[in-house]
Amino acid sequence: MQKQLQSLDYLVFFVYFVIVAIYGYWIYNRKKKAQADSKDFFLAEGSLTWWAIGASLIASNISAEQFIGMAGNGFKLGLAISAYELMAAATLIVVAVFFLPIYLKNHIYTMPQFLRQRYNETVALIMAIFWLLLYVIVNLTSILFLGALAVSTVSGISFTLCMIFLAVFAIFITLGGMKVIGYTDVIQVFFLVLGGLATTYLALNLVSEKFGTTGMWTGMNLLMTEAKDHFDMILDQSNPNFITLPGLTVLFGALWVANLSYWGCNQYITQRALGADLPTARSGLLFAAYMKLLMPIIVVLPGIAAYVLWKNGMFQTEMLKDGELVQDNAYPVLLHLLPTGLKGLSFAALTAAVVASLAGKANSISTIFTLDIYKDLINKTADERKLVWMGRLAVVVAMVIAIVIAPMLGIDKKGGFTFIQEYTGFVSPGIFAMFSLGFFWRRTTSSAAMFAIIGGFLLSVLFKFLPDFADLSFLVPYGHATLNPDTNVVEIPFLDRMGFVFIICVVVMVVMSLLSKPPVNSLQVDTSMFRVSKGFAIGSAIIVAVLAVVYIAFW
C-alpha cells in the first residue's frame, strides 16, 4: 500500500491551492470597501449570490468531522449516521421559511444582537461568551485536530506542521472578510464534491475487486450484502450503537433540536445569509439543502466500504492505534488505496473542507467578539477600520489558542463527529428554546431566557453525569435509556438528554413568563413574512419526497 503522496498528487494539490489563493486575492481587491467597512468585512453585505451562500454554507459545515468523524461512524454503525445530513436538508427548509425572514426583517447581523433586541444586554453578553467558548474550545479545535490528523496520515507530514499549515491557510482566507470566504467557498465545494465523489467511486470499485468482480454498482450491492446491518436508518435498542442514534429520536425527537439550533440559531451558519435579501437567502439555503443530500454518498459510503474491506482482511494494522481499533482512521487509510493523481484530488477535497470550515468558524468568532463584545463593552467609539483590524486580530488569536489546546482534549478517543455533537449538545437545547419562544411567543421574558441559558447548561451536565449516582434502568423499556457497551452503565443517549433538557426549558420558560410582567418586545414578526415563492415550495417538496423514499427504503 502506497502511503505517501507522489509528485502528481502534490501537483494536483498545488493547483488547488493556487486557484483558491489567486481567486481569493482577486475577490479581496475587487472591492476595496471590504478593507474598511465592518458590515462588508463580517457579512459581505449585499454581495453574495444564492449559489455563493449555499456553497459557503456547505463548505463551512462539511469538514474533518464529516470526512473523518462521520466516515468513522459509517465504519462503526453504518448508514444511520446519515440522519444528521438528511435531516439537515429538511431543517434548512424550516430555517429558510421561518427563521430568515425574522432576522432580515429586523436587520439582525449577529445572534447576540438578536438576543439584545429581543431580551436584554445581559442575555446577549452571556450567550456571546458561551458561543465564543464553544466555537474555540469545541468546534475550532475539533476541526483543526481532525483535519491535521487526516492530512498527516495521508501525506506523512508531521501532525504539528499540518495543524500550523491548515491554520495559516484558513487565516489567509479569513482576513479577507466574508466576501472572500463566500466566493472561495464555491471553489472549495467544487473540490470537496468532486474529490469526495471520486473517493466513493473508487471505494466501491475496490470492494467489487476484493470479491473478484468489477464495477461501482456491483460494489454497492456487495456493501449491502456484506454489511447488511450497516444499512438500517433507524436503530433499535438491541443495537450496540443505540446510545449514539436512539431509534426514532432521529426522526421525531431531539435531532430536530440539534439541527434547528445549529442551522437556525448559530452565528457560524446564519452569517452567510444575513447580508442578503430574503429571496436570495432562501434560494441559497435551498441549494445547500440539495447539497446535503449528497453528503451521505460522499462521506458515509466510504466508511461502510472501509468496514467491508477491513472485515475481509484489509487495513488490519492501519485501523489500529496503540493496539485498539480507531474508527476515525477509516477515511484516511482508504485514501492510501487511491491511484496517484486521484489521491491528490481527494487530498485537496479533504483540505478544502477543513480550511473552509476553519475560515468560516474563525470569521464567526471574530464577528461575535468584535461586534458584540469589543464594540459594545470595550471600545464603543471604535471606527470601521478599527473594528476590521480587531476582527482580524481575533482570528489570529483564536487560531493560536486552537493549535495549543487541540491535542489536549482527547478528541480522537471518542470519535470526532460524536465529540462535537455531544458537547455542542450541552448548550443547544437551551439556545433553541430561547430562540424559538423568542421568535413566536411575544410573552417570553428575559428572565425566562436567562434560565434557558444557565439552567439548560446545568441540566445538560446533570443528565450527563446522572448515571454515576442513579440507576436509570427504569427508563430502558421506554427507549430513553440503554446500556452503554463501552462502560456497561445504563445511560441516557445524548440526543434524548437534549430532548429532555429542551422540554424542561420550554416548560419552565412558559411558567416564568406567565408569572412575570409582559415584556416590551420590539421584534417585528407577522405571518406574511413566512410566505414563499412557488419555485421554493416545489424545490422543498422534492427534498421532502427524497427523504421519504430514503427512509422507507432503508428503514
User: In the structure, what pLDDT confidence band is assigned to residue 219 with cuts at 50, 70 and 90?
Assistant: confident
User: In the structure, what pLDDT confidence band is assigned to residue 243 with cuts at 50, 70 and 90?
Assistant: confident
pLDDT for 146-162, tens place per residue? Answer: 788 777 777 777 888 88
Cβ neighbour number for residue 201 with a 10 Å cutoff? 16
Residue 437 has what pLDDT?
Answer: 92
The residues pairing with 325 across neighbouring beta strands, listed in sequence order, are 320
For the residues 416-432, what does the mean pLDDT come to? 77
The residues pairing with 490 across neighbouring beta strands, listed in sequence order, are 483
Q: Identify the top-confidence range among 229-243, 372-386, 538-552.
A: 538-552
State the average pLDDT for the chain.
80
Percent of the chain with pLDDT over 70: 87
Q: Identify the top-confidence range among 205-219, 309-323, 497-511.
A: 497-511
Whole-Å CA distances, 293 to 63, 87, 288, 441: 16, 9, 9, 33
Q: Do 11 and 344 touch, CB atoms closer than 8 A?
A: yes
Residue 537 has what pLDDT?
Answer: 94
Query: Has residue 441 got a pLDDT over 50?
Result: yes
Q: Do 314 and 210 touch, CB atoms closer than 8 A?
A: yes
Pairing relation of β-strands 320-321 and 489-491? unpaired
Pairing relation of β-strands 320-321 and 324-325? antiparallel
Residue 44 has what pLDDT?
Answer: 47
What nine digits make up the cell of 36?
A: 474598511
Residue 545 has what pLDDT?
Answer: 95
Residue 306 has what pLDDT?
Answer: 87
Query: Has residue 415 got a pLDDT over 60?
Result: no
Residue 544 has what pLDDT?
Answer: 94
Task: List the domains of the chain with CATH numbers.
Answer: 7-417 (1.20.1730.10), 425-524 (no CATH)
Which position has the grid cell 451558519?
269
The residues pairing with 484 across neighbouring beta strands, listed in sequence order, are 489
pLDDT for 259-286, tens place per residue? Answer: 898 888 877 677 667 767 888 889 989 9
Residue 543 has what pLDDT?
Answer: 94
Which position has the grid cell 478517543?
413
Residue 34 has what pLDDT?
Answer: 46
Cβ neighbour number for residue 422 with a 10 Å cutoff? 20
Q: Is 63 helix (H, G, I), strand (E, B) or coil?
A: coil
Which position has the grid cell 466574508?
178
Ranges 241-250, 413-422, 493-502: which has the least confidence = 413-422
Q: Which residue has the higher pLDDT, 212 or 500?
A: 500
Residue 179 has what pLDDT?
Answer: 58
Q: Which residue has the higher pLDDT, 480 or 130?
A: 130
Q: Is-above-0.75 flag for pTM?
A: yes
Query: Has residue 321 got a pLDDT over 80?
Result: no
For the residues 402-431, what does the mean pLDDT come to? 73
End-to-end, the C-alpha distance of the chain in Å comes to: 37
User: In the structure, what pLDDT confidence band is assigned to residue 92 with cuts at 50, 70 and 90?
Assistant: very high
Q: Do 309 and 208 touch, CB atoms closer than 8 A?
A: no
Q: Which residue has the higher pLDDT, 207 or 477?
A: 207
Greatest alpha-carbon pair distance for the chain in Å reads: 74
pLDDT for 6-62, tens place per residue? Answer: 788 888 878 877 777 776 667 666 655 444 555 555 554 455 788 878 887 887 777
User: In the structure, what pLDDT confidence band is assigned to residue 478 with cuts at 50, 70 and 90?
Assistant: low
Cβ neighbour number for residue 64 with a 10 Å cutoff? 32
Whole-Å CA distances, 491 to 412, 425, 456, 464, 487: 22, 16, 19, 8, 9
Q: Phi and psi of 489, rounded to 5°?
A: -120, 140
For the residues 441-464, what does the mean pLDDT come to? 90
